[in-house]
Chains A and B, each alone.
Chain A
Amino acid sequence: MLNTTAICLASRLIARLGILFACSLSPALADSLTVSLVSSDSTPPFQQFSSALNKALAASDADVTVIGSQAGNGTDAGLVIAVGVKAMELAIAKSDAPVLGVMIPRMGYEALTESRSARHRSKAISAIYLDQPWDRQLSFIQAALPRHSVVGVLYSPNTPIVLPRLPQGMSLNAKSVSSVKTLFATLENILNSSDVLLVIPDSEIYSSSNVRNILLTSYRQRVPLIGVSQAYVNAGALCAIFSTPEQLAEQVAKTIISFSSDRQLPGPQYPESFSIGINNQVARSLGIEMASPDAIRQRMEKAGGGGQ
């Protein structure tokens, strides 16, 4: 199993060497930290992340230099920040420095760490996840939609869902979609028996053409959809809780600063700060009364569900 995976990963690396690199290559100073930033992509979220990170580090008085790099190799960087799964794969394989992954879903990170070859196992790696912890997600639903107690979830069988104990009064209606063909029958079924549909990201179920039909179907059945990004909210989801690249960059900057003094990476963690997006037009049309994002945040704090 491991061998197959390693071959797989190697071939992915070859295929994906077209990776962003930017700015200067300055030699590291003795006591300062050089951070190599590897990015999977150059689309807006990645650019927002890197500029926010540079800004946050510049604002601090820590002696940290950020350099762009292809894979975190070939420099004497003390830490590699790998943005996205592809960058993380590459950094693990190519760099000798500790690697901090960011904008990586927890499942993706765990799969990566599981699959890395024995040679790389000793390397210090950690991550700041992109997704929200389950208890925060559920606490959000409860705070935003107190009357919607049955949460429908569609998942594909190889995207495991691990849930904490459900908050009181909430129940989960999870159905597995065995193939794209049965997706809509399963969806109808789940919408019939749920108060709200929660998106669990999965490229097979929530491909952009499927998202269109899932949104239309759930709207027809008057079951609101809870997305995972502002894009979902704009597309027609009722609301979403997510962390922006800027918020993640803040947290990464803090981690880098602390690493520069003790050269220790903390364990993988979820994003500390998050944003709440609400589509008021959809709420109105569905006849759902929504509190303001601030009020929802306060309710979450009160309930102690990770609303900090």
Chain B
Amino acid sequence: MKQLRCRLRMSVLSAGIICSSAWAADYPSEQDYLQELPIVLSASRLSQPISETPNAMTVIDRDMIAASGFRNLSDLFRLVPGMYVGSYNGYTPIVAYHGAFDQYSRRMQVLVDGRSVYLPPFSYVNWEDIPLHIADIERIEVIRGTAAASHGANSSQGVINIITRDASSVHGASVSVLQGNGGMSDIAVHLGNTGENLDYRMTLGHRADDGFDVLSLKDHSTDRLANLRASYHYDGSNSLELQLGYLEGTRGLGIINRMTDPFRSTRTSSDFQQLAWSHVQQQGDEIRLQYYRIHRDFSDVGGAQKLPENTVADRHDLELQHTMQLGTDNRLVWGAGIRSDRADSPANLTVPQSLRQSRLFAHDEWRMTPSTVLNVGAMYEKDGMGHNNTSPRVALNYHLTPQHTLRASASVAYRNPAIMEEKGLGTTLTILPLIYRSAGGLRPEKALSKEIGYLGEFSTIGVTLDARAYIDQISDIIFVDPTTLVSGGRPYSFRNLMSATYRGIEGTAKYSWGERSGLTFSYAHQRASCTLTGTLTQPAFLPIVQNNYVDLCPMSVPSDSGSILITQQLMQDIQVSAGYYHQEKMQVLDAQQLQPLMRRVDLRVAKSFGKSGKIGGGELELVLQNMFQDNYREYTSVPSTNYPANPAALRYPILFERRAYLAVTFNF
């Protein structure tokens, strides 16, 4: 006898608008006004407005992702001022802030929902191995500057913080199919439901393409992925969140005519499990306990002079975080975590290696006066290799007026040696007895970053501005150290060899002139200089290191780079957007060749049909990438031989040529 519903029809006299019909409900009672509610937007859910963050930050939201027409996660970072995006091959992008020394770009932390995907033993991000579909991204926050105090180890030049769509944000089901030239063929199904206590979303996807070059690289890839995010709200103050992901890929590898790198097929699989419990207290404070595990398995069958290779990486991470609102003017986040990394790669490490790291962090946001915000924080970590590092950060944001803000900040962060750099020992080639022979004893790289920034909002004309000038100094840079000449090769060790200074100005201007119509312009001007600060094991190699790396270091950043993304809504259902990406000539230090000027124009036209988000609705889109066929060369070109090194060897350029695809999304 809980509820016997009375259906009442009400007659309403109207002076303005009347809305009436019949859907079962009691007539309004005081309970609708007096109901008790859980604290939903707790202190940890509330993000800092950009004008109060301690670092410069670029936010890439769903609208920008859609407007860009990019199909790969890594391409999105072209929208970030000062970010380099290149490709080693069709499925191995290189994303680096402040230029790149090599294909690994190790000085940036990358988090997906708080999960660090910067993996051992090489300590870099396998972008295409993350079991994440681009359509499941809610937003990406790119912190331009060192931010270890709030984002953990290795946030030495920046942090990419990918936030996926909440479990409650997908309602119903949709399927999207993409077909394009270069073998592009993708399909994805997204499902989701929001219930009384349980919300979930799920994605199943398949993607394939031929890569850059079927003739000289054969870098085709086929991936399948599954991703689940579910949250269970036990009561108003406790919730559990589970995330699972799996990806497996088959990828072509090899370089034409190269005995040491014959055409072959490799297989990669990657999975993660993440469980978080969060407890919101009475006053909105939150305690969050999170555990995740990442497992990656790469296998290469080898062939000719290439040995088979199998690399397995495992990470377990446990973290407790407490967010507290201390009065109205102070918010404190503190916590502690432990991480265990294990890498097994007989060809590169000989024996499996493990690392156990631990960290303690605190970050406080203090509103000293209504117009002054002080962010102070630090992380203390034990890196598992015998080093204890403290990474502090202090930033002061001063609102000249609510629309105009000045920021000054200074921070320190460390990049821990990769397992490969510290413990590498082995060979991947039949013709060389040893390629890696790490001497060990490396110190972490230290980054010191200082910046001043300005943020302005000119709301009457729809313009926002974000600009900054910075000096970043990185000392004890770990670099390859060729050791004694052994017959047929020179095994590599690693040493703290260099220091680098980066200076630059960069900024983003946004102009919005209507609903989903606007322009985002990003620009970066940067300079780099390096000095050799360490000594080589084998002084005979000094000229090579000096000429090929230290002297070339200013070329590792493009002097000027930028992007323009314009979006225009036409009528109700058509959206046209165009992106322009510009990068002056540069050279990733290990590329052996200059990467010339890049100018690329992308175009996207999308037409929606039916009711958006409802059954029968959907979208049709056409994307042209590099539409003017201004084919630019990626990262490097590949020489047909590399052992022994022959500067005169024939080189095959890796070109990004025009691509086009058509995609349709349908809700069912």
Q: Which residue numbers of A lie inside 8 Å of B, CB to CB?
A: 1, 5, 8-9, 11-12, 15, 40, 43, 45, 84-86, 103-105, 107-108, 110-112, 114-115, 130-131, 147, 155-166, 172, 174, 176-179, 182, 184-185, 188-189, 193, 201-204, 206, 208-209, 211-213, 215-217, 219-220, 228-229, 231-232, 234-236, 242, 279-282, 284-287, 289
CB of B461 closer than 8 Å to a CB of A = no
CB of B533 closer than 8 Å to a CB of A = no
Asked if A104 contacts B30 (CB within 8 A), the reply is yes
Asked if B29 contacts A114 (CB within 8 A), the reply is no
- Once A280-B328, A284-B49, A287-B51 are accepted as A-B contacts, the answer to whether A85 and B21 lie under 8 Å apart by CB is no
Q: Looking at the assembled complex, report how far the CB atom of A67 sits from the nearest CB atom of chain B, in whole angstroms.
A: 22
User: Chain B, 101-126, contact with A by CB distance < 8 Å: what is the 0/1 string?
Assistant: 00000000000000000000000000
- Once A160-B12, A236-B40 are accepted as A-B contacts, the answer to whether A217 and B168 lie under 8 Å apart by CB is yes
Asked if B18 contacts A161 (CB within 8 A), the reply is yes
Q: Looking at the assembled complex, report how far the CB atom of A91 sits from the nearest CB atom of chain B, in whole angstroms.
A: 14
Asked if B25 contacts A158 (CB within 8 A), the reply is yes
CB of B487 closer than 8 Å to a CB of A = no
Out of A162, A201, A219, A280, name the residue touching B28 (CB < 8 Å).
A201
A286 nearest in chain B by CB position = B49
A105 nearest in chain B by CB position = B28
Out of B5, B39, B611, name the residue touching A235 (CB < 8 Å).
B39
Asked if B19 contacts A234 (CB within 8 A), the reply is no
Asked if A107 contacts B613 (CB within 8 A), the reply is no
Bound-state Cα–Cα, A215 to B280, Å: 16
Out of B4, B7, B52, B194, name the residue touching A15 (CB < 8 Å).
B4
Most buried by A among B12, B41, B166, B197: B41
Q: Looking at the assembled complex, report how far the CB atom of B282 sits from the nearest CB atom of chain A, in whole angstroms.
A: 9
Bound-state Cα–Cα, A105 to B25, Å: 15
- Once A130-B30, A179-B23, A281-B46 are accepted as A-B contacts, the answer to whether A236 and B171 lie under 8 Å apart by CB is no
Bound-state Cα–Cα, A114 to B12, Å: 11
Chain B contact-residue range equals 35 or more
4 nearest interchain CB pairs? A236-B41, A201-B32, A157-B21, A111-B27
B20 nearest in chain A by CB position = A160
B197 nearest in chain A by CB position = A209
Q: Looking at the assembled complex, report how far the CB atom of B330 sits from the nearest CB atom of chain A, in whole angstroms.
A: 11
Q: Looking at the assembled complex, report how far the CB atom of A259 sits from the nearest CB atom of chain B, in whole angstroms.
A: 22
Asked if B30 contacts A185 (CB within 8 A), the reply is no
Q: Looking at the assembled complex, report how far the CB atom of A50 sits from the nearest CB atom of chain B, in whole angstroms.
A: 14
A-B contact pairs, 12 of them (CB 8 A): A8-B5, A12-B4, A12-B6, A108-B27, A108-B28, A156-B23, A157-B21, A162-B15, A185-B171, A235-B41, A285-B47, A285-B49
- Give the chain A neighbours of B325 by CB distance below 8 A: 281
- Give the chain A neighbours of B46 by CB distance below 8 A: 281-282, 284-285
CB of B297 closer than 8 Å to a CB of A = no
Asked if B41 contacts A162 (CB within 8 A), the reply is no
B42 nearest in chain A by CB position = A236
Asked if A232 contacts B37 (CB within 8 A), the reply is yes
- Once A110-B10, A189-B612, A281-B46 are accepted as A-B contacts, the answer to whether A231 and B35 lie under 8 Å apart by CB is yes
- Give the chain B neighbours of A216 by CB distance below 8 A: 40-41, 45, 166, 168-169
CB of B547 closer than 8 Å to a CB of A = no
CB of B172 closer than 8 Å to a CB of A = yes
> Could you list 16 further interchain pairs (A-B, Cβ under 8 angstroms) beyond the known A157-B19, A202-B25, A235-B38?
A8-B6, A85-B27, A105-B32, A130-B33, A158-B20, A160-B10, A162-B13, A164-B15, A172-B17, A176-B19, A185-B614, A188-B612, A281-B325, A284-B49, A285-B48, A287-B49
